[in-house]
């Protein structure tokens, strides 16, 4: 395990020797577990058609007896060929095939643009397991997507993927997706995922937006069946077919050059419970660049007995000498007050960011059903190299 992490680091650093390159290291420390986290990320474009990136991390816990852990989040090489008509990725990355669930894989993927505006994507690999658990055999995932662009307006696609865990069928999905930009004002996007292992709709999502002047209005709807999102090897994938649904509209209004007002009004339905999803948010930039921002938000969310109301305020004030002060406050009031009537949460931070060095120190305080009160101190020190 550690050897692989070291190997990943070595590869990342070897890649980073290419030019131009970007390297970023972040060390985070918190009085909450994990106590320390070191994240190293790098990307390099060796040539215009060949690039690589890697993100590796090491975490240490303050709990006595717990080992230091680490893993590779991403280590991937990407190449383009055939006059930009094909690109290939291999390594560890998140694979997305149209409407199907994203999958974190160790493997390869390719996308080829064919004549007559057709496009083919293929993915094959081993599903990533945390901690580099490679003891299992016959775990694999493979799939593909065929899409066609419709003039300049958008595209439609169908995708299929199958996943085997220890040789057994864990997921088999068929997906369809479509996205259109109709004129300068209308946008439409939809995706449907169908579970083939235990036939039934896994997920349907629709979004349609209309923009006129300073106002953008979006209508959305989501249908999700949790049992179809579980691996087919789970016993719980066969006991329920009760979907949760959510639909509503979001209006984003640029009320003034520096003021955005966002309203979200929707309904949630889970089984026989119905709940409202109401959000009102205002974001005010205190300068043209948006260096200083004040945001306020009111929210009503949940279904049935799990409804809650909340208020949130955020302020980021840019100070001289690359310094900034940030504060974030949230107050949650659950309808069911058996686990506490109010759950406050707050964070205050001072940051320094000169483009090369990043340093931040914060105090986080909260009270919840779990803790009567809790105070944590967080620190971050980062350094960027290149570009």
- CA distances 31 to 62, 64, 343, 374, Å, are 8, 14, 20, 11
- Choose among 282, 274, 283, 278: nearest CA to 264: 278
Residues 317-356 that bind another protein (CB under 8 A): 324, 326, 328, 330, 332, 334, 343-345, 347, 349, 351
Per-residue burial over 64-87, b if 16 or more Cβ lie within 10 Å, else e, is: eeeeebbbbbbbbbbbbeeeeeeb
Residues 353-382 that bind another protein (CB under 8 A): 360, 362, 364, 366, 368-370, 378, 380
Is 309 one of the binding residues for another protein (CB under 8 A)?
no
The single residue among 31, 110, 244, 322 that binds another protein, judged by CB under 8 A, is: 244
Is 250 one of the binding residues for another protein (CB under 8 A)?
yes
Shortest distance (Å) from residue 352 CB to another protein = 10
Say whether 385 sits in a helix, a strand or coil. Answer: strand
Residues 221-240 that bind another protein (CB under 8 A): 222, 224-227, 229-240
Residues 52-81 that bind another protein (CB under 8 A): 53, 55, 57, 59, 71-74, 76, 78
What is the full DSSP assignment across 112-137?
EEPGGGEEEEEEEEEE--GGG-----
143 or 157: CB nearest another protein? 157
Is 169 one of the binding residues for another protein (CB under 8 A)?
yes
Is 171 one of the binding residues for another protein (CB under 8 A)?
no
- φ/ψ region of 167 (left if φ > 0, alpha if ψ in -120 to 50, else beta) reads left
The pattern of x and - marking residues 121 through 140 that bind another protein according to CB under 8 A reads: ------xxxx----------
Residue 208: CB atoms within 10 Å: 17
Residue 371: CB atoms within 10 Å: 11
Is 168 one of the binding residues for another protein (CB under 8 A)?
yes
The single residue among 29, 118, 124, 187 that binds another protein, judged by CB under 8 A, is: 187
């Amino acid at each position: 395990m550690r050897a692989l992490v070291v190997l990943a680091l070595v590869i990342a650093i070897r890649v980073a020797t290419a030019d131009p390159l970007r390297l970023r290291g972040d060390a985070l420390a918190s009085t909450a577990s994990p106590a320390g986290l070191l994240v190293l990320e790098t990307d390099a474009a060796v040539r215009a058609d060949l690039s690589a990136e890697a993100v590796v991390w090491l975490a240490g816990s303050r709990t006595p007896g717990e080992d230091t852990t680490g893993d590779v989040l991403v280590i991937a090489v990407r190449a383009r060929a055939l006059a930009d008509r094909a690109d290939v990725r291999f390594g560890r990355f998140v694979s997305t095939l149209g409407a199907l669930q994203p999958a974190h894989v160790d493997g390869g993927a390719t996308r080829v643009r064919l004549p007559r505006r057709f496009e083919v994507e293929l993915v094959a690999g081993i599903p990533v397991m945390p901690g580099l658990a490679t003891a299992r055999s016959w775990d694999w995932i493979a799939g593909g997507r065929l899409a066609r662009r419709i003039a300049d307006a958008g595209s439609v696609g169908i995708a299929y993927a199958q996943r085997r865990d220890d040789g057994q069928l864990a997921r088999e999905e068929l997906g369809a997706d479509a996205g259109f930009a109709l004129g300068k004002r209308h946008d439409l996007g939809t995706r449907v995922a169908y579970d083939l292992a235990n036939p039934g709709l896994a997920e349907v999502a629709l979004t349609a937006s209309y923009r006129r002047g300073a106002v953008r209005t979006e209508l959305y709807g989501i249908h999700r069946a949790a049992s179809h999102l579980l691996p087919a090897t789970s016993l719980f994938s066969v006991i329920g077919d009760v979907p949760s649904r959510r639909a509503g509209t979001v209006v984003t209004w640029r009320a003034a050059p520096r003021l955005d007002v966002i309203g979200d009004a929707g309904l949630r339905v889970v089984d026989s419970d119905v709940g409202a999803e109401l959000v009102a948010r205002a974001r005010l930039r205190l300068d043209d660049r948006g260096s200083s921002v004040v945001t306020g938000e009111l929210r009503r969310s949940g279904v049935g007995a799990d409804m809650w109301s909340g208020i949130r305020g955020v302020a980021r004030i840019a100070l001289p000498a690359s310094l900034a002060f940030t504060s974030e406050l949230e107050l949650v009031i659950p309808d069911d007050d058996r686990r506490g009537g109010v759950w406050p949460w707050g964070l205050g931070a001072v940051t320094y960011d000169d483009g090369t060095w990043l340093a931040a120190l914060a105090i986080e305080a909260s009270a919840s059903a779990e803790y009567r009160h809790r105070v944590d101190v967080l620190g971050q020190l980062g350094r960027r190299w290149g570009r």
